[in-house]
Amino acid sequence: MRSTPSIVPFDRFDRDIYLVLEDFGARAGCAWRETDEADTDRDTVLRDILSGQYTYPLRIVVFNAVEGWSRDATAEIADELAERAADYADAVSPALQAFINANATRPFAMQLALPLREIAWR
């Protein structure tokens, strides 16, 4: 059986959209980052925060305009970042660590590597 295209239009905005409020310092202040439409999904925002695309994130808001709702997603994003950061312990910036500590609902349990100095074995 041959499939025909749907006559129902696809609404590309009928999805959850995540926006990040970032602190740019005392002179520039805070602003919602300008973001490409394709980069506003949850996984991309998490990946961008972990990779340092957002230096000082303050708040994450998620909304779905078609469904008519919005909410603060900062704590849930901080919790997920804490889980993912455990795999990237050496790449977690102090600013990201502070964001997680300030917003996560679960404790940030990142195992830091101990610097081992030359040990003389006898």
Tens digits of per-residue pLDDT, 89-102? 667 888 999 999 99
What was the pLDDT predicted at 30?
94
Question: In Å, how far are 6, 25, 56, 101, 122 from 98, measured between CA atoms?
Answer: 48, 15, 9, 5, 42
Contact predicate 55/99, CB 8 Å? no
User: Can you list the residues of the chain whose pLDDT is less than 70?
Assistant: 1-11, 13, 88-90, 107-122
Look at residue 101 in the predicted model and tell me its pLDDT: 92
74 CB-contact burial (10 Å; exposed 0-12 / middle 13-18 / buried 19+): buried
Residue type, 107: P
* Domain boundaries along the sequence of the chain: 17-103
pLDDT of residue 118: 55
What pLDDT shows up at residue 62?
Answer: 97
- The pLDDT assigned to 87 comes to 75
Question: For 47-57, how does the pLDDT look when each residue is reduced to its tens digit (9 = 90+)?
Answer: 999 988 998 99
Helices (H), 18-108: 42-51, 74-85, 94-103
Q: Tell me, what's the pLDDT at 85?
A: 83
